[in-house]
Amino acid sequence: MRSPQEKWRLLLGKYAQQRFGDCLSSADRRRDAALDYLYSREYQQRGIKPASVGGGAGSLEPTQLHALDWLAEVRDLFPNTVFEVLQTEAIERYQLADLLKDPQVWAHLAPDASLLRTLLTYQDRADPAMQAELRRVAKKIIDEILQRLRAKVVRAMSGRRNRHQRSPMQASANFDARATVRANLETWDGERKRLLADQLVFMSRQKRHLDWTIVLCVDQSGSMTESLIFSALMAAVLTGLPGIKVKMVLFDTSVVDVTHQLDDPLALLLSVQLGGGTDIGKALSYCETLLEQPSRTILALVSDFYEGAGPRPLLASVARLNEARVRMLGIAALDESGRADFNRHIAEQLAALGMQVGAMTPENFADWLAEVVK
């Protein structure tokens, strides 16, 4: 909990530094800098010339951040409700959107999922002349993430360990400790109480025939943007695996089937209309119509479970899916952090009806899929 001194320092801004001293934590210093970047523009709008602060070299000029860096920073530092206020203030009150027209802003961007999330949030606000540059940056980010994901997913899905077939391949992931102990019992050193292993045993990998349908049902509200990105990229990777059919559905209060766009994740993500309400029950009811072989179907619901409609249709749909023996996974967050804020009450009700629920990284998701389809 913050002390009164820390609270007043954050409230009054950097011009209270001289009175309160350096009392902020590293996280609060980031928040202070992010807020100063935006609200120091208030002085400029009132015609106040830049001036030094506390006799030093500081001035009223905004912190040296780029606009998109700042947008990613405030989304990371503040709750979604606060971020939405700052976003509106930045664009409507301080015309921060004008900075998105500057090619120099784009030239210094580090491509990552956080940047891609920001680009998607502001795609309809960028100057038309910058649309080609936006697509170039977004494609670069997508290609880099896809390259990392593909290696992890293929490794997880390509085969499971076969304990009945041995392999000389010296890979620690395939090491069979029990079989190694059994094979070297004769070399037990009773005096030193050590097993001298002359022969190490490894398990081989056996190929798996996959004949599953994976349905990704993804919440496209603003708070789920990064999970939406990784869902689209996971779908693109899984689509390339033999014997797996992938279907993808996006929803808010409407439901859109985007299965036909899975081979072009950039076009899919640029077509997303972020925001809106949430009707999870309606989305799952649509997913029920996609079932061909329920017992060979995996349904991954990517959502924070904050249901805007009444919960009854949602719970009824999950109960029907469970009765049909559909494997269900409720993913509160699918991103590189695996952390999420979600409705735990609804999540507990879904879990009681047979849905596994959790927040995870794409690698964890691939491992879960591998366990299910083995």
- Per-residue confidence (pLDDT) for residue 238, from 0 to 100: 93
Q: Do 247 and 216 touch, CB atoms closer than 8 A?
A: yes
- Per-residue confidence (pLDDT) for residue 65, from 0 to 100: 62
Residue in the structure block whose two tokens are 């029920």: 288
**Integer-rounded Cα radius of gyration of the chain:** 26
Q: Which residue from 330, 252, 251, 343 is spatially nearest to 298, judged by alpha carbons?
A: 330
Distance CA(358)–CA(11), nearest Å, equals 36
Q: Where does a domain end: 74, 103, 132?
A: 103
- Domain range for 254 is 212-373
Please indicate, yes or no, if residue 167 is contained in any of the structural domains: yes
Please indicate, yes or no, if residue 199 is contained in any of the structural domains: yes
Q: 257 and 354: one domain?
A: yes
Strands 255-257 and 244-251, how do they pair?
antiparallel
- Per-residue confidence (pLDDT) for residue 236, from 0 to 100: 93
Please indicate, yes or no, if residue 127 is contained in any of the structural domains: no
Q: 42 and 169: one domain?
A: no
Please indicate, yes or no, if residue 310 is contained in any of the structural domains: yes
Q: 366 and 220: one domain?
A: yes
Q: 216 and 320: one domain?
A: yes
Please indicate, yes or no, if residue 147 is contained in any of the structural domains: no
Q: 225 and 355: one domain?
A: yes
The contacts of residue 174 (CB under 8 Å, 6+ apart) are 161, 167, 202, 203, 204, 205
Please indicate, yes or no, if residue 111 is contained in any of the structural domains: no
Q: 34 and 70: one domain?
A: yes
Query: Based on the structure, what is the number of domains in the chain?
Result: 3
Distance CA(229)–CA(123), nearest Å, equals 14
- Per-residue confidence (pLDDT) for residue 117, from 0 to 100: 78
Q: What's the CATH code of the domain at 284?
A: 3.40.50.410
Q: 301 and 360: one domain?
A: yes
Q: Do 324 and 284 touch, CB atoms closer than 8 A?
A: no
Distance CA(316)–CA(308), nearest Å, equals 16
Distance CA(287)–CA(263), nearest Å, equals 20
Q: What is the pLDDT along the chain (374 residues), one digit of tens a residue?
A: 677 767 777 666 666 666 666 777 778 888 878 888 888 777 666 665 544 444 444 444 444 566 667 877 888 888 877 887 887 777 667 766 665 666 666 655 566 777 787 777 666 666 676 777 778 888 888 998 898 888 888 888 775 544 444 444 445 556 677 777 777 767 777 777 776 666 666 665 554 555 899 999 999 887 788 899 999 999 999 998 888 999 999 999 999 999 999 999 988 988 887 667 899 999 999 999 999 999 999 999 999 999 988 899 999 999 999 999 999 999 998 887 778 889 999 999 999 999 999 999 998 999 999 888 87
Q: 174 and 262: one domain?
A: no
